Amino acid sequence: MQAKTAKIQDVARIAGVSTATVSRALSNPDLVAESTRKAVMDAVEESGYRINHAARNLRRQRSGSILALVPNLANPFFSQILAGLSSVLSPAGYGLLIADTQTDNNPQERLRSYILNGLADGIVIFDGHLPEKQMLPPQHPPIVLACEWVDFDLPSVRVDNAKGAQIAIQHLYDNGHRRIGHITGPLGNVLADSRLNGMKNTLEQLGLAVRKEWIFNGDYSMDSGTFAAKQWLALDDRPTAVFCASDEMATGFMGALQHAGIDVPNDVSVVGFDNIEVVEHLTPALTTIRQPRRLIGQHAGQMVMNMIDDGVMSCASEIIPVELIERKSVVAPKT
């Protein structure tokens, strides 16, 4: 004999409250007293009641999903951010959809399609090149940018990239380095430009030269770090330290130099940016600027949910502090 499916009336009867109170406790728990909420949840467990999320979302004209648009899912940098994002969305009943913007020939049009098709109740974008103001429909779901930002009214959650560069350069300076190079991210990218400007400004404040031949163009990838190492090796007059705009580039840079017989850090010190998991296990372990990536995801998720719940499009942004993680890739330069 098939077991009877519990209904909301059964939960109300067991908890000793109205069905309206049960509904509020399940959909907006902050609106009911803690004792009532506990009684309802105990009744849900006792009765075996299961929320029909699809029906609830249909009534509310919502999809129950948040879409995350990531420029390169293969990049380990995004793993902790997406984990943080999921950690706040899942308890609130939202599913997380993830799409890689680099797999599409026309990501702008794909974003517009996502919006018009009502695929998600909110969107978190990790690619600052993606949202163009003229491509966004007048009525669009809440959009939050994570890590990157744009120059029009979309909120963002990011770290202070220029401050991170300043901390990195100051650390190298405090260890005796006066000849400092830099591997940039892709020029024109807001993160790369911010870190490059922070590096240049700090060198100038310290009275040090900004040497063009010591600035190597990269694209955040390990391969571009490897190419920068070849450029560094070709110099007659080399910097004694290099600040890399990403840990992946620092990993490629260090590996290529070590294959060429260069000792890191005794021949050249290296500082990265991001604190991805692998850099702690390099030889030497990489000194880097830590972005609290899980926290970025959590704050971005909370921001987009607040906009959904409030029905108000925010343009406020949040800047999260960074910190220096000292390991073994920086020593004083040879005299």
Kindly report, residue by residue over 263-320, the tens digit of the pLDDT. Answer: 999 999 999 999 999 999 999 999 999 999 999 999 999 999 998 887 766 777 899 9
More confident residue, 197 or 309: 197
Element (H, E) at 298: helix 293-310
Range 152-175 average pLDDT:
94
Beta strands 323-325 and 287-290 are antiparallel
> How many CB atoms sit inside 10 A of residue 36's CB?
18
Residue position matching structure tokens 């959590």 = 298
Question: 104: pLDDT confidence band, cut at 50, 70 and 90?
Answer: low
Tell me the whole-structure pTM to 2 decimals.
0.78
More confident residue, 242 or 113: 242
Res 54: pLDDT: 44
More confident residue, 132 or 60: 132
> How many CB atoms sit inside 10 A of residue 74's CB?
9
Q: Does the pLDDT value for residue 164 go beyond 70?
A: yes
Q: Does the pLDDT value for residue 200 go beyond 80?
A: yes
CA max distance for the chain: 86
How far apart CA 109 and CA 156 sit, in angstroms, is 22
Range 242-251 average pLDDT:
98
Quick check: 262 and 234 in contact, CB under 8 A? no
ω into residue 284 within 30 of 0, thus cis? yes
Res 58: pLDDT: 42
Give the type of residue at 90: S
> How many CB atoms sit inside 10 A of residue 173's CB?
18
Quick check: 224 and 191 in contact, CB under 8 A? no
Element (H, E) at 20: helix 19-27
Q: Is the dihedral of CA 209, 214, 218, 221 positive or negative?
A: negative
Q: Which of 39-53, 85-99, 176-190, 313-327 has the lowest mean pLDDT?
A: 39-53
Contacts of 186 (CB under 8 A, 6+ apart): 192, 218, 219, 220
Res 134: pLDDT: 62
